[in-house]
Amino acid sequence: MPMLHREKPDPEQEAPEAGNDKEDNYSFLQETIKPGKMSRERLFRQSARLALYGVILGIFACLGFFALKPWAENLFEGDPDTVTIPEDEEIPEDKAGEEEVQEQEDEKDLDAMSYDEMMASIYSIADEAKKTIVSVVAPSDGWSEETTGIETSATGIITADNGRELLILAPDSVCGDMDKWTVVFADGSEYASSLKMRDENRHLAVFSVLRSEISAATWKSAGVAELGNSNLIRQGDTVIALGNTFNYADGVSYGIVSSTDYKETFYDGECSVIATDIAAASEGSGVLFNLEGQVVGIALPSIWEEKGTNMANAYAISDLKPVIEILANGQQVPYIGIYGTTVTSMLKEEQGMPEGVYVIDVDPDSPALSAGIQSGDIICEINGEKIVNLGTYQRAVLETEKDQTISVRGMRLGAESYVEVEYTVTAGHK
């Protein structure tokens, strides 16, 4: 009986057929689902919901920004910029002559103006300059000024902006042993302030107010003062006195310069004094401006205090610029402790004195006294730099740093003539 053989199907050939059968069997499941048409009302509700969510998110973002802004500014703020006080420009003689002619022509024009118009013009300058004036107020603890010897307030001038702080120059009469002060700006707003640095020798101090704490409204009413060239001030020039000249804030006075021939001497230097005919209280302080709105002087009660003058006399700003720059950068003003005067050509000829600075007095407990400098000595060189007058001596001292050792060469009168002496002085501060 013959046997039947069934051939095995080829899987490669049957697989496609099986697949085709499967596709045919389930082809009825393939369909496209289309979304239903959204009504206008539903679309409006959904848009309104998204807009509401956006508003809520924006509100929380704004609140978070303002809440974290002070923290972020304090965390990421950089180092303060170095304050640089521009030096006075030297005016050529021919240019100075042209300006004098122009001033004479301007004076002729002013003669034709009415008094009211002239005063209105000056007041507009004063009103703009007042933006740079502040009051530095010491905290009151119930003690009177007569008891403590500390003034409750003094005039300050916004001198610089280092990117982190507004720096305010003021008399140091409000310092005392305090550690915090209040600064009142031109718009009446008050801000906490701290002492940046102090120079007891010249009775000046620089206070600081954080920029991040100052409101936009205060910024609009405040400004940094422009320090002018007080070397151009002449007798008879019109000046404006602003500040606490009469022991109350926000005072305004006008007058003329009565003299520029005097100087105020202190340890390690001197400063020209702008004397005016503007009346002032014995403890008043203020700032002198020229008719260009530039600061030309700082009026302090300590100027000629012993003479009992009740006029607004001011330190010439040009002589203070190096000191202001040092204080504004938080550095201590170098101090040696010599009270001296320039050896004039007449003294050199008549008494045979060497050129330099004659030491009138030495401050007790000063670096000069520790180094052996005595009254009657004549300072001739500092660190190899020749000293010809008190001005060059002052510049040489200000170029040193606290605790820096400097070499001083002087002359001392011996039995028959002057003999050379040398000192090693370690600069300090006062």
Same-domain check for residues 315 and 377: no
- Residue 251 forms part of a structural domain: yes
| Alpha-carbon gap, residue 142 to 139, rounded angstroms | 9
Same-domain check for residues 321 and 353: no
Q: Which residue has the tokens 């010809």?
A: 388
Same-domain check for residues 322 and 241: yes
Provide the domain limits for residue 388: 338-426
Min mean pLDDT across 142-156, 193-207, 318-332, 359-373 is at 142-156
Q: Residue 41 in 3-state DSSP?
A: helix
Element (H, E) at 273: strand 269-276
**Domain ends where: 328, 363, 382?**
328
Q: Is the pLDDT of residue 271 over 80?
A: yes
Q: Is the pLDDT of residue 104 over 60?
A: no
Same-domain check for residues 320 and 359: no
**389 band by pLDDT with thresholds 50, 70 and 90:** very high
CB 253 within 8 A of CB 278: yes
Same-domain check for residues 356 and 416: yes
Same-domain check for residues 314 and 344: no
Q: Per mean pLDDT, which of 34-38, 139-143, 171-175, 375-379 is the most reliable?
A: 375-379
- Residue 399 forms part of a structural domain: yes
For the stretch 21-32, pLDDT in tens is 544 555 544 555
**383 band by pLDDT with thresholds 50, 70 and 90:** very high
**Domain ends where: 309, 328, 347?**
328
Query: SS3 string of 369-415?
Result: HHHCCCCCCEEEEECCEECCCHHHHHHHHHCCCCCCEEEEEEEEECC
- Using CA atoms, how far residue 194 sits from 134, 136, 138, 162, in Å, is 14, 10, 11, 15
Same-domain check for residues 351 and 394: yes
Same-domain check for residues 376 and 303: no
Can you read off the two tokens belonging to residue 206?
A: 């620089």
Tell me, yes or no, if the pTM score tops 0.85.
no
Q: What is the mean pLDDT of the chain?
A: 82
- Residue 53 forms part of a structural domain: no
- Residue 354 forms part of a structural domain: yes
Domain of 277: which CATH number? 2.40.10.10
Q: Is the pLDDT of residue 308 over 70?
A: no
Domain of 345: which CATH number? 2.30.42.10
For the stretch 319-343, pLDDT in tens is 999 999 999 999 999 999 999 999 9
- Residue 405 forms part of a structural domain: yes
| Alpha-carbon gap, residue 255 to 297, rounded angstroms | 14
Vertex 201: Cα angle to 198 and 205 (nearest 5): 25
Same-domain check for residues 306 and 351: no
- Residue 360 forms part of a structural domain: yes
Can you read off the two tokens belonging to residue 35?
A: 């979304």
Vertex 375: Cα angle to 370 and 380 (nearest 5): 85
- Residue 380 forms part of a structural domain: yes
Same-domain check for residues 288 and 345: no
Same-domain check for residues 354 and 377: yes
**Domain ends where: 304, 328, 352?**
328
Residue 91 phi, psi (nearest 5): -95, 125
- Residue 242 forms part of a structural domain: yes
- Structural domains in the chain (count): 2
For the stretch 191-245, pLDDT in tens is 999 999 999 999 999 999 999 999 999 999 999 999 999 999 999 999 999 998 8
